[in-house]
Structure 1
């Protein structure tokens, strides 16, 4: 069962469409996987809709109010389908990827966003998501069975959304759908027995704490 969710603040910003694209994508994927957050988003969106109609009615003339009543009573579906400006209708086809002989189905939100070729370093493989979002970097991260990421903390923040498989760290174990937010207050050593695929968003370089991995810190800004 999913135990780790976006904060109430993130969900509110997601429903208000004020999140950066990378974070909005991460929340969207989680919501698709999580019935608990689906229910929260439904309530937030309903509250937003009520607020919009309420604000409009407060300043409306009698004529405008009558027109608003007519719109509300009409079929919303008819309004959408009669809009000639919507000229692209498509069905979402499942998209699968293969990483080191592991086959994964991508989440619906990622099916129309391209990603680069996976680059391999030991048991880790990363593919950059083609999303221009300023200093934020989004990736698909695959860890082979028995792999781990050396102990590290964060110079910014890191969102890890587990898509498939399992991993553990000092805080516990994670299942598909878990949404984990880490920043400079946290340090951890993710490892997986069976292998996993994650969607990650980072705002700055990781900072490695132990052993030879500390040699990566001087160039961390180039590889995050």
Structure 2
């Protein structure tokens, strides 16, 4: 039975799952959920994600939601396929886990409003972002990236010397922000800039962001 991903091109979480599947070279069926019509709140989607959000995921008899949990499942269930995205050494795995948590609790919080103001408002409504909000959120991002710059001066990737879920979880948000004025915030930090160039040039990233998700 084919893996099914229920998602949308307006969803950072959907892209996290697609990137993980691409890194693992796993075939899947993408089922588009139409957010504008409120499909994600309909009974058939609430049965897959009771919070009425996307993505949702099915692999045979296992049904999951929350993109980071889905990616961790894929990485463990298909550990022998494609790119190894999790470390089996407990100490190295713990370091990766720290930076996965940093993405969820530091980076994501610093960038979600920027994504809305600089990308989604323009794309969905043809509106410019609120400058006051953008300036306030940019300050938060600066603080986070200062920490990342220090970390990446010590290792090539956030979790260590090899690409992992700690890096992958950041990729969709970074991809979108690179098309905004926030690009300079990343570019002015040499280690962060090199890391961004590396993760965005990965074959999985090129494949996912080159494929239509409509």
TM range (shorter): under 0.3
State the TM-score, normalizing by the size of structure 2.
0.25
Structure ranking higher on relative contact order (CA contacts 8 Å, 6+ apart): 2
Structure number with greater Rg is 1
Query: Which has a greater percent of helix?
Result: 2
Q: TM-score, normalised by structure 1?
A: 0.24
